[in-house]
């Protein structure tokens, strides 16, 4: 998510000299309105969520019996939930947790998947065979069962959030590993990789300096899509009660109130805001992902 929005677009006198492929992609991305609006929305959500303690001073942990299930008003913008907690405030704090889980999981998954995939793809042969067997094993693991079992084992012993992040990451890198491997397999056929070996680059250098940077566009596009699915995973698990510990607000935890029929039918202000913000966030991430994909595609000039 490091898209600098420097105003490069205004300089268009002559065909720009010496633009790195990255600069060209950035220019194309900046011109994509939908992607830029989505990115803007995501930045706002992220900034407001992470600055929650400065945005609102309401205590989210205090249960206020006198203010249970209030409708939206000027005092409580989005009303209060069944424990009398301000929904808007919880939405902000929940965003913090949901985004944090999403970002950390994406980070670990991408790093792990890239390491495994690039080593397997570059070396090939037995190493590739072994690593891909293991990847298949991970991919076929019953995800939900494992999350529930591990969650129960570590419940109370470790920080619930950390357990969730570790478990999701450890079980999700398989897809990235496969995609990176196939990209590396194709990319390493290029003569510049042979050249890199012949000028004395070590395997680590060939992978890190020549191969990964050249498949980075794919990795970045994948990580945006992955980021969206990680947020869905958090919400889904929390909704089912196996995700973020219930005392910590998260979008998924807030959504789980909708399991109660009276909330679902009569108190939409409690569950509609988290549902809406999750949907919008996922949509935006996907639009950004599509925009990046387009920007990196050399065939789609401007």
Please count the residues of this chain forming the interface with another protein, following the rule CB under 8 A.
22
Q: Would you state the structure tokens that stand for residue 243, as one six-digit string?
A: 């995700």
Q: How far is the CB of 242 from another protein (least distance, A)?
A: 39
In the bound state with another protein, the residue whose beta carbon lies nearer, of 188 and 293, is: 188
What residues contact residue 32 under an 8 Å CB cut-off, 6+ apart?
Answer: 291, 294, 295
Q: How far is the CB of 212 from another protein (least distance, A)?
A: 11
The owner of tokens 């009276």 is 262
Q: How far is the CB of 289 from another protein (least distance, A)?
A: 21
CB 92 within 8 A of CB 56: yes
Q: How far is the CB of 189 from another protein (least distance, A)?
A: 8
What would the x/- binding string for another protein be over residues 6 to 25, using CB under 8 A?
-----------xxxxxx---
Q: How far is the CB of 292 from another protein (least distance, A)?
A: 16
In the bound state with another protein, the residue whose beta carbon lies nearer, of 189 and 247, is: 189
CB 80 within 8 A of CB 69: yes
Q: Provide the 10 A C-beta neighbour count for residue 217.
A: 19
Q: Give the span between the Cα atoms of 162 and 139, in whole angstroms.
A: 21
Q: Would you state the structure tokens that stand for residue 105, as one six-digit string?
A: 């999981």
Q: How far is the CB of 179 from another protein (least distance, A)?
A: 19
Identify the DSSP state of 208.
I
In the bound state with another protein, the residue whose beta carbon lies nearer, of 217 and 284, is: 217
Q: Provide the 10 A C-beta neighbour count for residue 214.
A: 17
The owner of tokens 């194709």 is 186
Q: How far is the CB of 195 from another protein (least distance, A)?
A: 6
CB 183 within 8 A of CB 218: yes
In the bound state with another protein, the residue whose beta carbon lies nearer, of 5 and 129, is: 129
In the bound state with another protein, the residue whose beta carbon lies nearer, of 16 and 149, is: 16
In the bound state with another protein, the residue whose beta carbon lies nearer, of 85 and 210, is: 210
In the bound state with another protein, the residue whose beta carbon lies nearer, of 63 and 194, is: 194
Q: Pick the closest to residue 135 from 180, 103, 97 (CA basis).
A: 180
Angle 290-177-284 from CA coordinates, rounded to 5°: 20
- What part of residues 82-141 is at the interface with another protein (CB under 8 A)? 129
Q: How far is the CB of 103 from another protein (least distance, A)?
A: 26
What would the x/- binding string for another protein be over residues 180 to 219, using CB under 8 A?
----------xxx-xxxxxxxx---x----x--xx-----
153 binds another protein (CB under 8 A): no
What would the x/- binding string for another protein be over residues 213 to 252, using CB under 8 A?
xx--------------------------------------
In the bound state with another protein, the residue whose beta carbon lies nearer, of 20 and 61, is: 20
The owner of tokens 């509609």 is 272
Q: Pick the closest to residue 115 from 22, 219, 248, 258 (CA basis).
A: 219
- 56, burial (CB in 10 Å: exposed 0-12, middle 13-18, buried 19+): middle
Q: Give the span between the Cα atoms of 139 and 16, in whole angstroms.
A: 45
158 binds another protein (CB under 8 A): no
Q: Pick the closest to residue 111 from 236, 244, 222, 2 (CA basis).
A: 222
Where does this chain bind another protein (CB under 8 A)? 17-22, 129, 190-192, 194-201, 205, 210, 213-214
């Amino acid at each position: 998510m490091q898209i600098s929005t420097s105003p490069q677009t205004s300089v268009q006198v002559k065909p720009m000299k010496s633009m790195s492929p990255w600069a060209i992609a950035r220019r194309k991305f900046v011109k994509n309105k939908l992607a830029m609006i989505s990115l803007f929305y995501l930045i706002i959500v992220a900034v407001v969520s992470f600055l929650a303690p400065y945005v609102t001073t309401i205590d989210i942990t205090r249960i206020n019996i006198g203010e249970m299930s209030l409708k939206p008003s000027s005092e409580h913008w989005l009303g209060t939930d069944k424990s009398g907690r301000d929904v808007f405030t919880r939405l902000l704090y929940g965003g913090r947790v949901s985004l944090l889980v999403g970002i950390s999981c994406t980070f670990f998954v991408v790093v792990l998947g890239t390491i495994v995939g690039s080593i397997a793809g570059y070396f090939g042969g037995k190493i590739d065979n072994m690593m891909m067997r293991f990847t298949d094993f991970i991919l076929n693991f019953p995800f939900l069962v494992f999350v529930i079992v591990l969650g129960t084992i570590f419940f109370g012993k470790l920080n619930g959030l950390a357990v969730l992040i570790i478990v999701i990451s450890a079980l999700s890198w398989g897809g990235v590993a496969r995609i990176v491997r196939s990209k590396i397999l194709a990319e390493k056929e290029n003569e510049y990789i042979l050249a890199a070996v012949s000028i004395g680059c070590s395997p680590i250098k060939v992978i890190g300096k020549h191969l990964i940077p050249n498949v980075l566009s794919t990795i970045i596009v994948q990580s945006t899509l992955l980021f969206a699915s990680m947020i869905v995973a958090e919400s889904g698990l929390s909704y089912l009660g196996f995700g973020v510990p219930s005392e910590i607000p998260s979008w998924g935890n807030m959504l789980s109130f909708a399991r109660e029929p009276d909330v679902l039918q009569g108190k939409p202000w409690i569950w509609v805001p988290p549902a809406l913000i999750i949907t919008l966030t996922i949509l935006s991430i996907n639009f950004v992902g599509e925009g990046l994909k387009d920007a990196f595609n050399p065939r789609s000039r401007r």
